[in-house]
Amino acid sequence: MNLKELQYFCAVVEAGSANGAAAHLHVVPAAVSMQLGQLEVQLGGKLFDRSTRPMTLTPLGRFLYPKARAVLSDTSRMLEDAQDLSAGRLGWLSIGFTRSTIFSVLPEAVRALNVVAPKVRIDLTEILTEHQSDALRAGKIHIGLARAIGDFSTDAETECIPLFDDPLVAALPVTSALARRKIVTPSELVELAYISYPKDPNSSFARHALQALENAGAKARVSYEAKEIHTALGLVAAGLGFTLVGQSVADGQRADMRFRPVRGLKTLAKVFATRRKGVSHQLGDAFLEILKTQSLTR
């Protein structure tokens, strides 16, 4: 028994005659009759009662038809899935991201991947930059989105792909007088409490952000340590102080705070992707190309 025999059998059932099936299949009626004959020989019985017009299914035909239709449907779906998998339109992609990238390239890149590969299952996991190498080695993620200030060193198995530089700006409560300025000075900022983030002993971002302020002439006093950027921005919105964020975070303007450049603050945050060296992952590579393309406009 082969798929063509089942296909021709189902076509006859659905067309109501061998001639109708032949027209639908774009073959001569004799080809349909030959396939039906071969199938009946293999099954050891007749599929159609040919004494009636139109032909009707025998009990064997009624038994076979729904099963043959299911086989053809499953085969078609299997072929489509295999082609999608081969072309990178099907599969699983796990992305690790540091929280601040959710304000910039991450949502847009995921949407773009969904457009070209809607059948791909995408898992998103929040992972600090410093923990992404471990997650890559363990196979928990295929690609990471990271952010760091200054030089960032990783292990020999992890590759860092630069995406864009992100100037640091001050996030200020909308109620602060400084929020009405176009640019703020380090000496003005030291009058406000500083909100540090992320609160993690393995993260270097908080330490480097403070050093960037000090290099600009502002020795900030840390009054709050937030676990992550969303909490830090919530504290800013509550009027409890200020913090530093990348310009990409400031692009999503909020009514409860203002983002202002700091005079003399030249330190840049760098946004980059991480992946394992020498390990090819088709969906991960496709996602990386999307990230690179979108980063060109920043």
Place of tokens 């991480």: 274
Considering only 115-119, 193-197, 227-231, which range has the smallest mean pLDDT?
A: 115-119
Instruction: For residue 79, count other CB atoms closer than 10 A to its CB.
Output: 10
Provide the 3-class DSSP secondary structure of residue 118.
coil
Do the first three CATH levels of 3-86 and 90-164+270-295 match, i.e. the same topology? no
- Residue 139's Cβ-side half-sphere holds a number of Cα atoms within 13 Å equal to 1
Instruction: List CB contacts of 45: < 8 A, sequence separation 6 or more.
Output: 58, 60
Whether the per-residue pLDDT at 60 is higher than 80: the answer is: yes
CB 199 within 8 A of CB 232: no
Regarding pTM above 0.75, the answer is no
Distance, in Å, from the CA atom of 297 to the CA atom of 235, rounded to the nearest integer, reads 31
Six-digit token pair at 274? Answer: 């991480």
Instruction: List CB contacts of 89: < 8 A, sequence separation 6 or more.
Output: 116, 117, 118, 119, 120
Domain 3-86 fold is: Arc Repressor Mutant, subunit A (1.10.10)
User: Dihedrals φ, ψ of 45, to 5°?
Assistant: -170, 170
Domain 166-268 fold is: D-Maltodextrin-Binding Protein; domain 2 (3.40.190)
Rg (CA), the chain: 31
Whether the per-residue pLDDT at 298 is higher than 80: the answer is: no
The domain segmentation of the chain, as residue ranges, is: 3-86, 90-164+270-295, 166-268
Q: What is the pLDDT of residue 239?
A: 96
List strand residue ranges (DSSP E) for 127-251, in order. Answer: 143-149, 158-173, 194-196, 222-225, 243-246
Tens of pLDDT, residues 245-263: 999 988 877 889 999 999 9
Q: What is the pLDDT of residue 291?
A: 95
Strands 158-173 and 257-260, bridge-based pairing: antiparallel
Distance, in Å, from the CA atom of 228 to the CA atom of 214, rounded to the nearest integer, reads 22
Q: What is the pLDDT of residue 202?
A: 81
CB 145 within 8 A of CB 101: yes
Instruction: For residue 97, count other CB atoms closer than 10 A to its CB.
Output: 25
Whether the per-residue pLDDT at 16 is higher than 90: the answer is: no
Q: Does domain 90-164+270-295 match CATH 3.40.50.2020?
A: no
